[in-house]
Structure 1
């Protein structure tokens, strides 16, 4: 899971939270709850408490932020058990299997944004309509986030936890050495409105690139950031796959391959060991930065780069990533699960999750709360991340999602673009490889 982070936060708390987030995002194997498995309870434990099971992937942070403890103090007759499966690519097939059999399901199941359309369009009858739950208010959530988990008949099967509004993380010191503006407002202005301007800034940077540091980390990261700002990407509004002819995909592909051809990219695959080592060794100056990326950078760049990284606005508003909480109809403790899912995704709890775990809220009603509105990160030169990411989240377009969004995206980046970046294939050859792999995946 890639999620993958106030004036009300002390420096120590901020750094600890971001470090914990970064470590958890890639390890993802820690159990957030007690030693139980999804669906293991028979409705209660030996002490007479009702056991609510939660199935998740990666580190969603509810335990780390103290939300489970807070809820059970408010409801002493409830016990929460969380079963964590990582990565999401392992979690999701198991969820589909359990939905098919109607057994083995947790009372609450997390769903990643890349899978939410398939669940909503093919499995909606197997989930509770959370729009009718007490205390749930549609207007509290970003419109586009709410719509992602809403079926054509109006049934909403998931409540948003977090989103991944886009920014650009950049090395302030490397920009200064290359003769570029380093102030975050001036940097934002360099590429405002157009991803091509971002590459133009990269070409200026490359003229005086310090210490062999590339301008950006990965063509794949740039591709994902660019396509995430368009409404129609891999599917059109009718549900037809359009990845072969999508203007958004073609434009993002050209940006990514142009960056590689101009040697602006370090040629890395994001989230791998070489990428982590490049962060530690200062081998690139910028990275496409959805909110959850901050934890990754802090964790792997390390303390020696404190204050050298900063955060600027992305060329265009975009969202990359996010999750939902859903309650299966087959849940053993369905009523209590609905109450817990509703409470965990309420604006107040999303603000606490952001404050403690840097998971950016999907509830826009949380953006005016001080934990979000006043949020700054000392590691990133005290960048006002609350304001930067709130604006990006509000301005992001409503994306048309399809059942195989996650698969299609991965094939463009981890098949096509990797062949270009790491195997020396041409942009055309990489494109053909990505299209062929996607055609096979979708039986086209």
Structure 2
């Protein structure tokens, strides 16, 4: 979620107030509780993430270092979460090369709590249980083992909306008002029908959406049960919700509505400034990413409307401390501060990452974003967060999702039949999870 623009109107003022409050609160806290595992000397806390969580861009690292002069924060990140997770698994198995703080994507958190608990610090040892009441219940419980170990503190959640290019809509003769669009695409069939209308009059080299994989992902984010049921049984192959999302996405590919761009690829990044797609399924954290890729030239060209088919959630993460971390206590104090309400509110107003902290959600309710044509982002994403189902998370959620979206890429880019691609997806799942 890259850098936000400097002038942010009311939203930025809210962020500034939140950050000021955070500084005062942190100054009063006096830093770490109890003994430090660094003997009181200078400490470099290493943070390893995927994508961009926005902490550096929002000025939070700099603020924390100012409050704690003995602390330096060094972040590394991998853009593709799949690559990040593979590398993390290798390092966890070997016990070396781990950072003090590791990011965990929500689709992996069940793997951590159910299969890798012995490799991460139980944060209750540092007082994490005192924080429980400040987080959404679903977010907190997903990072907690059955016997009560807290293995991660929640960062953001991913309430979903639809981002769209008003200038491209105008060129294709489509309405641009977010309320009117929400009415026209209240269903996914309505969304596809508008896409067909767009295709008929679209500007050259511009598609309706970036990829059918992103369409599938945002649709399946509207479901409570996706790949596993509450008992832990793998159900994706017979789940009608998965079938519906698959068939809708395959239809979009058949209708030629996709720009056929793999998300997070260099080509996808370049497409933001080129106007290669008019709509983008858009969890809250995508706002900062759009700004970073589209740049100043995109300001005022984007808007946000309610998602077709109802509310859902896509993504969200946790910050965890590995058992092999060098500075466990300092790492915990940092992630406690980064996930506190004041910092989560600042991150939303500057980067778009929607809070999992209940206190922060209240703070950002009236936020707007001038980059997105003044869209009431606090209301849009706040309503979506309230209405989204509490999802059942399985051990291999991310593996299953990746295999399905890979197969959909075959449909749109290679012309593979949906039936053959689905068979390939099932084989991929079997190979990935055994």
Structure 2 partner of 1:358: 352
CA distance in 1, matches of 2:3, 2:214: 18
Equivalent residues, number: 410
Structure 1 partner of 2:314: 320
Q: Answer yes or no: is 1:67 the counterpart of 2:65.
A: no
Q: Deviations over 1:257-296 (max 9, x none)?
A: 1111122222332232333344333232211111222233
1:407-422 matches, within 5 Å, as 407-414=399-406, 416-422=407-413
Determine which of 333, 340, 347 is the counterpart of 2:341.
Answer: 347
Determine which of 423, 426, 429 is the counterpart of 1:435.
Answer: 426
Question: Is 1:167–1:388's contact at 8 Å kept on the other side of the alignment?
Answer: yes
CA distance in 1, matches of 2:60, 2:424: 45
CA shift at 1:404, angstroms? 1.9
Structure 2 partner of 1:185: 179
Structure 2 partner of 1:252: 245
Q: Answer yes or no: is 1:91 the counterpart of 2:79.
A: no
CA shift at 1:438, angstroms? 1.3
1:328 alignment partner, SS class: coil
CA distance in 1, matches of 2:199, 2:258: 10
Q: TM-score with structure 2 length normalisation?
A: 0.84
Quickly say closer, same or farther: Cα 1:86–1:281, change in 2 above 3 A.
Answer: closer
Structure 2 partner of 1:391: 383
Q: Deviations over 1:28-72 (max 9, x none)?
A: xxxxxxxxxxxxxx9549x92344333333332323323233223
Question: Is 1:165–1:393's contact at 8 Å kept on the other side of the alignment?
Answer: yes
CA shift at 1:345, angstroms? 0.5
1:96 alignment partner, SS class: helix
1:244 alignment partner, SS class: helix
Stretches of structure 2 lacking an aligned partner (at least 5 in a row): 16-35
Q: TM-score with structure 1 length normalisation?
A: 0.83
Structure 1 partner of 2:121: 128
CA distance in 2, matches of 1:241, 1:424: 28
CA shift at 1:187, angstroms? 1.0
CA shift at 1:224, angstroms? 0.5
1:139-158 matches, within 5 Å, as 139-158=133-152
Question: Is 2:4–2:288's contact at 8 Å kept on the other side of the alignment?
Answer: no
CA shift at 1:125, angstroms? 3.4
Question: Is 2:3–2:54's contact at 8 Å kept on the other side of the alignment?
Answer: no
CA distance in 1, matches of 2:266, 2:73: 34
Structure 2 partner of 1:284: 277
Structure 1 partner of 2:365: 373
CA shift at 1:433, angstroms? 1.4
